[in-house]
Structure 1
C-alpha cells in the first residue's frame, strides 16, 4: 500500500481542547465523586459488620 505525502496520521500541533478553568472544574468534580464513593463504601462495610455482630448475639 502506498502512502501519499502529507498524510502522516495525527498532526504534532497541540491544540487546547478546553480552558484551564473547565479542566480544573472537571478534576474537582471527579475528586469529589471519588471521595463520595469511598465514603459510601466505607459506611456500607461498617453497617454490614454492625448488622452481622447484632445477629450473632
Structure 2
C-alpha cells in the first residue's frame, strides 16, 4: 500500500477557516466572560468575609 504525497497529515497549506471579524468577536466575548467570572468570584469572597465577620445571631 502506498499513499500519495501531500494527502495526509499537516503537509498542505493552511486554509483560512474563519474571518478575522469572527475571531475578534470570539476573543472579545471570551474576555468579557473572563472579567465577569472574576467579578463574580470577587463579590462572592467579599460577601463571605462580611458574613463571617458579622457572626451568627443567637
Same-fold call, TM cutoff 0.5: yes
- CA 27–20 in structure 1, closer or farther in 2 if over 3 Å, else same: same
1:35 paired residue number? 35
* Structure 1 unaligned spans of 5+: none
Runs of 4 or more above 2 Å deviation: 2-5
Matches within 5 A, 1:1-57: 3-6=2-5, 7-55=7-55
- CA 46–3 in structure 1, closer or farther in 2 if over 3 Å, else same: farther
RMSD: 1.7
Q: TM-score, normalised by structure 2?
A: 0.81
1:2-56 CA-partner distances (Å, limit 9, x unpaired): 6534144223301111000000000000000000000000000000000000017
